[in-house]
Amino acid sequence: MQILVVSPRVAPGLLTLSAWDALRAAASVRAAELDDPHVEAIVSAGIAVEATLDATSNAVPAYQPDAVWIAPIGDVGWAQQVATDLMDDDSTRVEIIFGSYDQPGSRLLDLVEVMDQLRTRCPWTQQQTHASLSHFLLEEVYETLESLDSGDTDHLREELGDLLMQVVFHARIAAESEGWDIDTVAEGIVAKLIYRNPHVFGDETVTSADEVDARWQELKAVEKKRDSPLDGIPAHMPALALADKVLGRIGEVAVDGADFGSRLLVLVREARAAGVNAEEALRKAVHALL
């Protein structure tokens, strides 16, 4: 007996050769539900599928040596539990076969689908706009930074998920009236990464990380076509981060440390020279006091 597991994130009917061979050779093919797109594709291919027990039932499928059971779509746990329950002695043999596999990043499709459902059916989610979500985005950024500072990777994983949700949320709002969506967002960053890394995706050669950064900045300047090296710097960045960004764009500049602001600017310049991010350094120092 074989149990077939397929991914809900793969187009119906795109099964491995071993899966099709097993389905065609089976004395009978059974599934919990016939209206699943994968099952419908199998039926459309000329293979008879019999609907049996409900996927939510606790009943165990009866053992049939030449049968193929199609697990509830994507439910590997169900398949493993059934196989364990049936293989209670040496007279039964149950094999789990995978008809399709998730590729890396496939769970992002689940997030997009969940957000679509929320935007369609949740009153609160329906009311949100780019503006109403702005403070949530900022909070998630700071919480992600806090998790980085803590060194707690489980916390970081959680906060990255919350931050990713904000990205998908804004893209879903834009899809309704602004002419772009999450695929457009992904397409843009993919194109940017390929363009600005010719040492990976082209035939250029680099020998150090500094060369990579310099080439990135050069290509960015060509791409952006800015009139001033200060163009594009967000004015609302935290002051130390803003100072670091400005000094990075304009290079060496004389700073008179006569007042507190200028003295802080001198410290930021010294931090840059030492390879230290002033914003992060101050944040960690403050957190040490908490």
For the segment 148-162, what is each residue's pLDDT rounded down to a tens digit? 888 899 999 999 999
Q: Where are the domains of the chain?
A: 2-98, 107-180, 233-290
Q: Which residues, other chains included, contact 102 with Cβ-Cβ below 8 Å and sequence gap of 6+? A: 7, 9, 10
Q: Which of 2-16, 54-68, 133-147, 166-180 has the lowest mean pLDDT?
A: 54-68
Averaged pLDDT, 233-250: 83
At 60 the pLDDT is 66
Answer yes or no: is pLDDT of 102 > 60. yes
Looking at CATH, the fold of the domain delimited by 107-180 is given as Helix Hairpins (1.10.287)
* Mean pLDDT rounded to a whole number for the chain: 88
Count of CB atoms situated within 10 Å of the CB of 27? 9
DSSP state of 45: T
At 147 the pLDDT is 92
3-class SS of residue 4: strand
pTM above 0.85, yes or no: no
DSSP state of 72: S
Averaged pLDDT, 16-31: 94
Q: Which residues, other chains included, contact 238 with Cβ-Cβ below 8 Å and sequence gap of 6+? A: 279
DSSP state of 255: -
Answer yes or no: is pLDDT of 274 > 80. yes
Answer yes or no: is pLDDT of 57 > 60. no
At 212 the pLDDT is 95
Check residues 241 and 115 and name the one with the higher pLDDT: 115
Q: Minimal CA–CA distance to 160: which of 225, 196, 108?
A: 108
pLDDT in tens, 182-222: 999 999 999 999 999 999 999 999 999 999 998 998 898 88
CB 51 within 8 A of CB 22: no
